[in-house]
Amino acid sequence: MATSDGDGWIECSCGAKHWGLHGAAGVLIVDPSIPSVLMQHRAEWTHGGATWGIPGGARDSHETAVQAALRELFEEWGVSETLLEIVHDEVWTDHGDWSYHTVIATPARKFDVTHNAESQEARWVALDEVRNLDLHPGFAAHWDQVELTIAGLLKSL
Ligand SMILES: [Zn+2]
């Protein structure tokens, strides 16, 4: 039986504290037709409360980044991986002691989000408006890199 052994803060060599003893991962769902991305408005009580980000969380030691990201997505939004097509899983931010992995997916078909208490809202946001939101600092730190990757992907989607 697999156990959750990734929950906890790590004191990173970059000077910051990050969530996830084995790193963390999240899923960014992209609708290429607008283009837009499905953003999470985080609940007030969460770390970085009421900011915007994506569903995700700590990796367990037995999980790949993709497995962790999809597990968190299902826990937080009730969206199963069967509703998605993963188009990119190699956007990394690597701090040595800690890493964050953004998995990029497109909807394979229409779906509804039934979010749990960690979100107050899930909303499609136009790609070029994401940076205008009050972003979670962790997400904001990765956004330039992720946006660049999406721009490249959109040419082939
Ligand atoms: Zn760090």
Q: Is the pTM of this model over 0.85?
A: yes
Closest CA to 19 of 85, 72, 80, 89: 72
- Tell me the residues surrounding ligand 1 (ion) with CB < 5 Å: 12, 14, 16, 95
Q: How far is CA 121 from CA 25, 35, 43, 92, 146, in A?
A: 20, 19, 8, 26, 21
Q: What is the 110 CA–ligand 1 centroid distance (Å)?
A: 36
The 10s digit of each residue's pLDDT in 91-147 is 889 999 999 999 999 999 999 999 999 999 999 999 999 999 999 988 998 999 999
Residue whose structure tokens are 């994401």: 130
Question: What's the number of CA atoms in the CB half-sphere (13 Å) around residue 117?
Answer: 3
Classified by CATH at the fold level, domain 11-154 comes out as Nucleoside Triphosphate Pyrophosphohydrolase (3.90.79)
Q: What is the 10 CA–ligand 1 centroid distance (Å)?
A: 9
Token reading at 73 = 């997505």
Rounded to whole angstroms, the Cα distance separating 144 from 138 reads 12
